């Protein structure tokens, strides 16, 4: 069986109108590994923050965060539980 990790991916979008659709298109192929999602606008700073709870192999989580990190105006960080 594939070794899997549970973790959190934090996504900060600086320009919603330019990047939000690209972020959502990027998340689509990874939907099966997303066990929860919360998104909040932060109007005072003109940011949008998305938190994903994920369960997948570290390679797959890394693939997702790598693709998100290449989107202009998007910052992404992840942390995985040591189980």
User: Going residue by residue through the chain (83 aa), what tens digit of pLDDT does each one get?
Assistant: 578 999 999 999 998 778 889 999 999 999 999 999 999 999 898 899 999 999 999 999 999 999 999 999 999 999 999 77
Please report, for the chain, how many H helices and E strands are present, in that order.
2, 4
List Cβ neighbours of 66 (8 Å cut-off, separation of 6 or more). Answer: none
Instruction: Determine the pLDDT at residue 1.
Output: 59
Domains delineated in the chain: 5-80 (3.30.70.1150)
Instruction: Determine the pLDDT at residue 46.
Output: 87
């Amino acid at each position: 069986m594939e070794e899997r990790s549970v973790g959190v991916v934090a996504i900060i979008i600086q320009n919603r109108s330019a990047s939000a659709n690209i972020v959502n298109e990027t998340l689509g192929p990874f939907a099966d590994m997303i066990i929860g999602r919360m998104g909040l606008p932060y109007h005072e700073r003109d940011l949008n923050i998305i938190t994903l709870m994920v369960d997948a192999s570290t390679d797959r989580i890394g693939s997702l965060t790598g693709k998100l990190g290449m989107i202009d105006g998007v910052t992404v960080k992840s942390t995985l539980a040591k189980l």
